[in-house]
């Protein structure tokens, strides 16, 4: 794949697809991490005297409809402060063409306000391509999506290449998958086995030990015990049993349970073999925490995706907190990815203690599953 650092961008109109999909509270940016990770790419384009067009989505607006709550205007204001002294402007309407000068930055309004973005519409892809001479894909978090601004544009633009953030994400993940340092311990949490069944199968091929939590663990526990009214997927018990028979999966031996699903629910620690019909598992128990921490301590490489329970509820946070801190303070090389995982890292202030935090959730998982992504195959050609 071509890398933007190796291309002459002088006076060229470059369309850089970034991931500026940050959490907002009104117009206030709650976490600027994704914007900050994109800044070196923007600065490289400035250094190369390019005519810079930045594009991103934000949230999930109704396609073709403007939604003030999901405008990129707060992102524009943040960029203006971070790139103080730079000529940066904001375009709401741009599909019929825009004027952009060398060393100028144009931020386009949320691409998902455009009809046909998510469906990879051909006409919209052509309009994006007409805005530029070179397309630079640098949004790892959306690299698994076949959309007009991430994929379709490549079919019509003169030249396409990869940006430094996407390059670094792929390089690090490839090194882990191709040259892993054993023992590899994988920690997978989250709600459903059905969304991660392929991921679990792929990870079990390279991992030495897999630790499960959340609703995913409940489906595995239900193979052997009743899980009461806990979140689990009965239809996936047989597939879960096949994965469990690899003898690499470690399950919780005890859980924090409650009779109600609420932020004020009280926790009772019980063995997983003793869950009553009116009870539900909302976190791992102390004995499981102890077991998991002893396994994590022996790891040389850690892959982490998903919380151990309902960490949003204070009484069911301990499992996720203890395991997250164990990963963070372990000597192993640790890679974390996924929206909930990053939320956990921020909640417990562990950002500087994880070796590598992937900006992607779905892309992180799909790359581990398939060792490639649709846009990477497109850029190779």
Fill in the DSSP letter of residue 48.
T
Let me know: does 76 contact 88? Beta carbons within 8 Å: yes
Please choose, from the candidates 303, 271, 304, the residue with its C-alpha nearest in 3D space to the C-alpha of residue 288.
Answer: 271
Catalytic residue among 34, 48, 317, 378: 34
Decide the pairing of beta strands 87-91 and 104-108.
Answer: parallel
At residue 270, the 3 state secondary structure works out as: strand
Let me know: does 304 contact 352? Beta carbons within 8 Å: no
* List of domains in the chain: 4-166 (3.40.50.1260), 180-370 (3.40.50.1260)
Q: Which residues are annotated as a binding site for ATP?
A: 196, 312, 338-341
Is 116 one of the annotated active-site residues of the chain? no
Q: Which residues are annotated as a binding site?
A: 19-21, 34, 57-60, 112, 145, 196, 312, 338-341
Is 339 one of the annotated active-site residues of the chain? yes
In angstroms, rounded to a whole number, what is the distance separating the alpha carbons of residues 315 and 268? 10
Please choose, from the candidates 68, 64, 56, 46, the residue with its C-alpha nearest in 3D space to the C-alpha of residue 21.
Answer: 56
pLDDT digit string (tens) for the chain, length 381 residues: 899 999 999 999 999 999 999 888 889 998 888 899 999 999 999 999 999 999 999 999 998 899 999 999 999 999 999 999 899 999 999 999 999 998 899 999 999 999 999 999 999 999 999 999 999 999 998 898 999 999 999 999 999 999 999 999 899 888 877 888 999 999 999 887 787 888 888 889 889 999 999 999 999 999 999 999 999 999 999 999 999 999 999 999 999 999 999 999 999 999 999 999 999 999 999 999 999 999 999 999 999 989 999 999 999 999 999 999 999 999 999 999 877 888 899 899 999 999 988 877 778 878 877 788 889 999 987
Count CB-CB contacts under 10 A for residue 47.
11
């Amino acid at each position: 794949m071509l890398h933007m650092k190796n291309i002459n961008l002088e006076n060229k109109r470059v369309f850089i697809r970034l991931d500026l999909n940050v959490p907002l509270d009104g117009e206030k940016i709650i976490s600027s991490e994704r914007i900050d990770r994109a800044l070196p790419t923007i600065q490289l384009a400035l250094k190369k005297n390019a005519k810079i067009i930045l594009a991103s989505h934000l949230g999930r607006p109704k396609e073709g409809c403007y939604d003030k709550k999901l405008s990129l205007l707060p992102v524009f204001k943040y960029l203006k402060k971070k790139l103080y002294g730079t000529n940066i402007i904001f375009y709401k309407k741009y599909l019929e063409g825009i004027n952009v000068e060398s060393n100028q930055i144009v931020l386009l309004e949320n691409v998902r306000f455009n009809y046909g973005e998510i469906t990879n519409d051909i006409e919209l892809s052509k309009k994006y391509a007409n805005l530029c001479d070179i397309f630079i894909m640098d949004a790892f978090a959306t690299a698994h999506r076949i959309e007009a601004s991430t994929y379709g544009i490549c079919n019509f633009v003169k030249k396409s290449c990869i940006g430094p953030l996407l390059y670094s994400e792929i390089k690090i993940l490839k090194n882990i998958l191709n040259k892993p340092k054993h023992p590899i311990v994988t920690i997978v949490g989250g709600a459903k086995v059905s969304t991660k069944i392929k991921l679990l199968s792929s990870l079990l091929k390279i991992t030495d030990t897999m630790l499960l939590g959340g609703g995913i663990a409940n489906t595995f526990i239900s193979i052997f015990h009743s899980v009461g009214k806990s979140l689990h997927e009965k239809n996936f018990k047989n597939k879960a049993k096949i994965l469990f028979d690899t003898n690499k999966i470690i399950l919780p031996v005890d859980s924090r349970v409650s009779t109600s699903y609420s932020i004020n629910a009280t926790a009772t620690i019980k063995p997983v073999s003793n869950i009553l019909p009116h009870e539900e598992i909302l976190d791992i128990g102390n004995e499981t925490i102890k077991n998991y921490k002893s396994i994590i301590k022996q790891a040389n490489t850690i892959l982490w995706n998903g919380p151990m329970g309902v960490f949003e509820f204070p009484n069911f946070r301990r499992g996720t907190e203890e395991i997250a801190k164990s990963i963070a303070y372990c000597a192993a090389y640790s890679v974390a990815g996924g929206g909930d995982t990053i939320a956990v890292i921020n909640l417990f202030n562990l950002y500087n203690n994880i070796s590598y935090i992937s900006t992607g959730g779905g892309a992180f998982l799909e790359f581990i599953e398939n060792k490639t992504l649709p846009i990477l195959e497109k850029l190779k050609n």
